A and B are shown apart, each in its own frame.
Chain A
Amino acid sequence: MTTQTAGRAATRMIVIVIIGCIAAVTLPSVLILGIGMLPTLAAMITDRRKEKYATLCVGCMNFTGVMPFMIRLWTEDHSYDHAFTVIADPFTWLVMYGAAALGWAIYFVAPGVVGMFIGMRTEQRIQRLRRRQRDLVEEWGPGVASGRRDGEEKDKRNTG
């Protein structure tokens, strides 16, 4: 038990060291990524669900919005100056935060769309079942609807 916990801690330590090293080398990118992915961080903080659908939803779109600026940084000049220039551009904020907003929009609209779809499909099934019931009544008489057995049906007819 103790050996396992120690192993995990070691692994975590190694990962943090690697990420720290990479972040130290790519600090301008980390700067843009850190500022650009703030909506995702906010979504992660507000998303109380275990599955973190909102974080995923916003995160995916947010990352897509951040990615062009990261690539510009990498392809043009991977420096603090350039990183600050990119950050200083309002268009950058519009794209990065707009993409995150689109993620939020998808997250909020999808349940409504899915609900509508489920409702339609269920209504269709109910209609089909009702049609079948009508066919049965048409073929076998109203007795099948009331669930009377043959004898009871006959009795009713005879007394009627």
Chain B
Amino acid sequence: MADRVVIKERVEIDPDNPVPEFDMPHTKAFAAVARREEHGDLIAYVCDPRIPFRHDDIDSVRGMTGSAMMRFVEWGVAVWAPARRRLPILVYERPQGGRVAKAVSDVQEPMNEDRIVRGFLTPAVALLRDLSTRGVAHRAIRPDNLFFADAAKKVMALGDCLTCPPGLYNPAFCETIEQAMADPAARGRGGVADDLYSLGVCLIFLVLGRNPIHELGATEMIERKINLGSYGALTAGARIQMNMMELLRGLLSDDPRERWSIREVELWIGGRRLTPKQAKLPSKAARSITIAGRDYENVRSAAEGLARNWLTAGEMLRGHDFDNWVRRSLNDDKVVENVNKVLGNHAALQGAPESDTPRLVTRACMALDPAAPIRHKGFSAHIDGVGAALALEFDRDDVRQKVSDFINGRFVGLWMSLQARTRSDLNELYAIYDKLPMILNQTGPGFGMERVLYALNPHIHCRSPLIEHLYVTRIEELVPALERAASAKDRGGRPMDRHIAAFSVARSPDVDERFVRPLSGTDQTGTGHVLAALTLLARVQAMTKSGPAPALAAWFVDLMKSSVNGFANLKQRKAMEQSVTRAAETGLLIELQNIYGDTKAVQRDQQGYARAIQEHQHCGAQIQQLSIEIQNREHMASELGEQVAAVASGVIGSIGSTAIIIVFML
């Protein structure tokens, strides 16, 4: 039996009490209770660590009142015993009436207009207005994410929208054409217009009691929506009451400019009734164009066909047929202008090298359908959705390659220049994309795809295998997490990898590329690499003031043993060992770094060692010389001895003679 998990002293979650009826596709729900406040029953969503949750939007959703959405209560990252790791947990008030539909394929009793308007549409539109003023879109409005807010099942509420990227679990039929074209994880933040469209899809489900086209695949769904219009495709000929038809046609308009706004829906709820507008279908070309054996009659479906057949579309794109079709059959000056802008004239197209074909296809798709996501080599993404797509499937080589190609293609600026509306929120993102190719094309730690991952996902946790289970999202948590990893009995390797390096640079303004470049050295196993890692983490620890980390310091001491042993001077080595031990006990990595990073000491030691060898050799040579001298002592002694004897005799004789003379003179 697992202990209850407590979030910020406010909520207790029971891991032994799952609530499967509230599960999201990849997120399990568990029963929870509030500790102090008066909340009803709560449910806690324990997030899948692979799936980035909407951290940015939590504060906006917090404190929202009204019954149109499950009320958000609290969130936190906590140790989730069943998974033996830390996980983000989001807590909501539990809707009393359960789920409206368990799956999008469910068939149920159709609801009457009055019940739908009172119980769903009115509160939902009020909610969307509230969200809109807070700058947030729900982006998880779909039939199987609707709940009855009350036990009497009169009022319906939208379910959770924070546990996954916007629109991730929305089936293609719930999404606008532009959003449905994008890979589910790469749909981007979207906006209230997307929510209103999804609201329209839910209304059809409630009105009809079923989804007539739930069995269709995404590709076919998109094709139908383009060719028939969303309303026609989604209702599939089913009978809709006239007054509801007006609302649905307004909400499901494929032209965002014509789609009903919140205000128009509110007016409709207030009783304004107009003649339903006919769906505005894309204008057909004078003749169809054949792409990969299929004929396409309008520009949007042709762009979609090009994107799907990017491997074979190059030849067609370079041919005269495409140029003629665009310039003569489409009869759309805007498209011709776009094509001229991004592809140039036909001669330029033909002159482009073969290797540029995928880029040309991408550019052609952008020119034909600027509102669509950027589609490159089978990867289809809105520019604010690339980060989530990468985070979701980072372990897959093919996804990393697709994202890499997408970034290196430098399509973002061009795509933005083609947009009819300028979105100021994308300017910041454009600045990031502008720098990414340079970062991506450097292979060392702190660069590459890992850095792209953290640059595009400002709140994602560090994916290093060493600390992934600790769910570190902020730079301040990095050193304490590594300290915990260092305290583990089975620690191995090094407290540094590509993820930690990239996370540090991306998250901390105080850690720039000077700190990660030394990690790129050719010798990834030597002490130089460990010292670079120590320098980086010492910087992080110092700048984040994250407190002492003695176990981590001890780990570094272990790794740097060979560096200390590398000191030839035994006294200095001993002194260094002592100072290293003292520094490690403080847990301050900067202290260790100061010791190990003293290159002058190393130089002095090396020079001293060289001098010592030289002196030892010199002594040896002298000893050898003297030994030879000892062996030849007899010869030297006889030579010198005779001289000494002559001198001694001379001296003695002189003294003796002088003494004799003196004696005789006295």
Contacts and interface: CB of A to CB of B under 8 A. Distances in A.
B610 interface: yes
B570 interface: yes
B579 interface: no
A53 B643 contact: yes
B646 A64 contact: no
Contacts of A61: 649, 652-653, 656
B634 interface: yes
B630 interface: yes
A116 B569 CA distance: 40
B283 interface: no
Contacts of A90: none
B636 interface: yes
Interface string B64-78: 000000000000000
Interface string B601-631: 0000010111011011101101100110110
Interface stretch (A17-25, A28-36, A129-137): A129-137
B642 A136 contact: no
B634 to A, nearest CB: 6
Interface string A101-125: 0010011111111111011001101
Interface in A53-71: 53-54, 56-61, 63-64, 67-68, 71
A114 B656 CA distance: 23
A118 to B, nearest CB: 6
A115 B641 contact: yes
A147 B636 contact: no
Given A114-B640, A115-B637, A150-B610, A106 B649 contact: yes
A83 B646 CA distance: 30
A150 B606 contact: yes
B113 to A, nearest CB: 82
A153 B444 CA distance: 31
A71 B616 contact: no
A160 B630 CA distance: 40
B84 interface: no
Contact of A150 (B568, B649, B661): B568
B660 A71 contact: yes
B650 A60 contact: yes
Contacts, number: 164
A133 B616 contact: yes
A10 interface: no
A51 B644 CA distance: 13
Contact of A111 (B566, B622, B630, B637): B637
A106 B609 contact: no
Contacts of A107: 642, 645-646, 649
Contact of B641 (A114, A133, A158): A114
A139 interface: yes
Contacts of A118: 629, 633, 636-637, 640
Q: How big is the B interface, by class? A: 35 or more
Contacts of A116: 637
B657 A112 contact: no
Contacts of B96: none
Contacts of B661: 67, 71
A128 to B, nearest CB: 9
A143 interface: yes
B638 to A, nearest CB: 5
Contacts of A71: 660-661, 664
Contacts of B653: 60-61, 63-64
Given A115-B641, A139-B571, A103 B649 contact: yes
A75 to B, nearest CB: 6
Contact of A140 (B562, B570, B643, B656): B570
B311 interface: no
B528 to A, nearest CB: 13
A153 B568 CA distance: 8
B147 to A, nearest CB: 64
A111 B646 contact: no
B417 interface: no
Given A57-B645, A125-B626, A136 B615 contact: yes
A143 B605 CA distance: 13
Contacts of A136: 612, 615-616, 619
Nearest to A157: B565
Given A106-B649, A106-B652, A126-B626, A140 B568 contact: yes
B660 A68 contact: yes
B352 interface: no
24 contacts: A51-B642, A53-B643, A53-B646, A56-B646, A58-B649, A60-B649, A61-B653, A67-B656, A107-B646, A109-B645, A110-B644, A110-B645, A111-B645, A113-B644, A115-B637, A115-B641, A119-B633, A122-B629, A125-B622, A129-B619, A136-B616, A140-B569, A141-B570, A144-B616
Interface of B: 562, 565-566, 568-571, 606, 608-610, 612-613, 615-617, 619-620, 622-623, 626-627, 629-630, 633-634, 636-638, 640-646, 648-650, 652-654, 656-657, 660-661, 664
Interface of A: 49, 51, 53-54, 56-61, 63-64, 67-68, 71-72, 75, 99, 103, 106-116, 118-119, 122-123, 125-126, 129-130, 132-133, 136-141, 143-145, 147-150, 153-154, 157-158
